[in-house]
Every structure is written in structure tokens, then in C-alpha cells.
Chains A and B, each alone.
Chain A
Amino acid sequence: MMYEIDLAVIGGGPAGLMAANTAAEAGAKVLLLERDGHLGGQLVKQTHKFFGSEEQHASMRGNDISTMLGDRLGSFGERVTVWKSATVIGFYEDGVITIDHNGIYKKVKPMRVVVATGASEKFLSFPNNDLPGIYGAGAVQTMMNVYGIRPGQRVLMIGAGNIGLIVSYQLLQAGVSVAAIVEGLPHIGGYAVHASKVRRAGVPILTSHTIVRADGAESVESATIAEIDRGWNVIQRTMKTIACDVICISVGLTPLAELLWQAGCKMRYIPSLGGSVPLRNDCLETTVKGVFIAGDVSGIEEASAAMVEGRLAGLEAAASLGFKSERYCEERNDCMEQLAALRSGPTAEKIRSGLACAECR
């Protein structure tokens, strides 16, 4: 049986939740598909307070934002259907999407789709990088903040971007010691406010350093690190071994764009956005008509931008079906202004130039 619906939103993280809420608000019938058993995506483990403006839920913690957006979806009654434990496994060129919903195979033909599948953590190449105890920083955050379990006793963090810094601080909050944060670049990539917090707690941030190897019998027992020169070559005499039972990898994210490839969207490899991303217009519509994108799958940013993109994609997908309130223009302009503000400043230059390469039409 083919299930028909106005809009399918794939992914129930910050972008997908906003897209579903906004489209339902406009009057569209929405099906939200979430692979996990609960909504929220990676918001559920983000226990830090958000920055930005009030519209972007600044000063709220990610896990609370997730609950709030999920609750709001419930207020639309029958207009919104949520399938949890529903993995989209195929996106066909005739617009049919196939789903494994709790072990049952289903087919859906939506009029419009918002793909908000997020991202996955990148990996790093070094000897013994497959030892148990080497975890993605996000994985460690999930273990601690969602399941309440310490990943180990002493962690070496690789990467001083925002995730590396925030997870280091959250490890300390959970009572785990952090031996050091190792960063290949000559400077700290994340916000100074996060870096200061971990430094105040006594964690050294070693810039121009890299991990050389990991060692251990069945799981991690130590890591060898070293300073690197400007050409990223290891300076041999600076090598030292650090005892640790966890090595946390925080070297960025890459978009989970498989469904967009399947749908036939025109893709472009843009390193500053984290990998291959779909070309899109200013409504966040891809080169396949009716297929919209929002959040990290459209280029790696952070949850605040993902939520605004989700709102914009939901607004535009609904509008293209005729669900357009008198506040449509106002809302659209508001999204554009918020995105411009989030992407202002020198640190966002990378994102601005990346996005300029991903524009079409």
C-alpha cells in the first residue's frame, strides 16, 4: 500500500523538527520519519546552553529545546504523523521513499520532501586507530549525557573545535579526567569561551600537535602524541606517550547525504561544508523539484543554523503546495536575517564561501 502525504520530513533532529513544525503550522499534512526510537537527533545530548538570539532559543539547553519542539509537534493533532524507529532506506527518482519502520517495509509518496538527515563524525588515520576505546566525541557525549555512563577514566581529546572543547568540559562534569586536548592547527578552532572553561579546569590545549599512534592489547591503554611543524610533519624529538583508556576523535563532521544522491540531486564536493553537499536555491530546494534540505546535510554548521534552515525549508515546502499564511513573507525574511546573522563574523567566512559554491539558479 502506498501512503500519500503532503510533506515527508526525513530526520527528527533540530532541522527536521523545525521543518515539520513550520509546515504543519502553515497547514500541510506532515509525516516525520526518525531512525531512532526518540526525537531530537543530537540535541538530546547537548546539555550546554545555546548562544544566539531569543528566536534561536539562546540560553536554553539542547536537550530542553528538543523536548519543547517535540511537544509542539503533538499540538497539531492528526495533521502530523511521527514514525519513530523508521529508517528511510531508499529514495527513488519517481519520488517514492521506502522505509523500514520497526521491521516493517513501507512505501510513501509525498508531494514534497525535506531531507534533514544530519551528519556523521569524521575519522582520523593513525596506527591502531581501530582499538576499542577510540570513540567519536559525539559518541562519548551520547554515552554520558543520554545513557549516564562514563566512557572511561582518562580521556585524550583529539580536536579543539567546539565539539572537542564542549565534550571535554562535559567529561569533567561527569567526573572523567581529560589528559589533554590535541589540535593539529596552530590555533584553537572553537569559541574562546569554551576553551577558557576547560583551561580553567586545568586541561592543557596542545596546538600544533597530533596523535602519532594508539597502543593497547584489547583496548586503548596509551596514546603517543607529538608536535608538528608547519608542513604537518611530526617533530620526532617531541614525541611523548600519555596513559589513557579513551581517545576521543573530534575532527569534524560530514553530511549524511546518501538519500540525496539516490534522489538524483546534483551534488558538489565542498570541503569547507564537510563533504559532498547538494546544490540548492535560496528556498533550500535542491535541483530535484520538491526535494528540500535543512541542517547539517546541507553543509556542516551547528544546531542554531539547522533550526533556522529547518524553519525555512518547512515554510517553503508548504508554500509551494499553496499553504501560505499572510505572514509568509515576514517569516521568510526573518529566517534569512537570522541565517545572515549566524553566519556573520570572521569565523564564519569558511561557511559563507562554501555556501556561495553550493548555490544554484
Chain B
Amino acid sequence: MGDRRITNHPILQFSEGEIIHFTFDGKPMEGREGDTIASALHANGVKVLGYHFMTKRPRGFYCAIGNCSSCLMIVNGKSNVRTCTAPLKSGMIVETQYDRGVPDDV
């Protein structure tokens, strides 16, 4: 689904950032330097990021700027990560979140 990336634009130029490898629910995927977790997933055609803890209805991002918490996922074992603003990093283990998640160790 590489065609989701814009290569031809009348105003903007998107540099082909370095490829970043990560996994989503065990599947290997590729993102680009500069991606957030959610933008990399979207580029791979993944729209469903989690399921509502009670209704089990699918959830995607809504605001993409860190306000609405619709994009929460489990990243490297940590739940409730706002994937729309969290930068993608090499080797990240990204998983669909189905429940309320577990609070951070303080």
C-alpha cells in the first residue's frame, strides 16, 4: 500500500526518509523517518488501531494532534500510547488495544 504516500505534490516536497522497521500485531511493517506510529500504520493501510473496551467497536484516530485519545495502542508493552503523536522508532512492537490498558509503573 505504498501508494498512500504522496510523492507528487504541487506545493510540498516530502523527502524519502529512511525506512524504519516495526511490527503491528506481529506482522513486520515499514514506516519512514518522520512518521508517527499512526501515520506509518495508515500508510500500510491500517485504519483500526483499537477496540472500545466496553462496546468492542473498532477505533481509528480522529484528531491526529494528540487531543482526543481515539488512537490509543499498546507500544512496546505500554498501553494507552497516543499513536497519532508518538514518533515511530525502529523495532517498535505495536499492538491493537482491546481494553482499558494497564497504568504505567510510577
Contacts and interface: CB of A to CB of B under 8 A. Distances in A.
Interface of A: 35-37, 42, 47, 61, 120-121, 123, 130-136, 138-140, 142-145, 147-151, 173-175, 218-219, 256
A218 B47 contact: yes
Contacts of B52: 130
Contacts of A47: 11-12
B67 A148 contact: no
Interface size range of chain B in the complex: 35 or more
Contacts of B101: none
A147 B39 contact: yes
Contacts, number: 92
Contacts of B10: 173
B59 interface: yes
A256 B61 CA distance: 19
B62 A135 contact: yes
Nearest to A130: B57
Contacts of B3: 150
A219 B78 CA distance: 25
Contacts of A135: 60-62, 64
B19 interface: no
A219 B52 CA distance: 14
Nearest to A49: B11
B41 to A, nearest CB: 10
Q: Which of B49, B63, B64 has the most CB of A within 10 A?
A: B64
Nearest to A145: B12
Contacts of A175: 6, 8
A218 B34 CA distance: 28
A132 B48 contact: yes
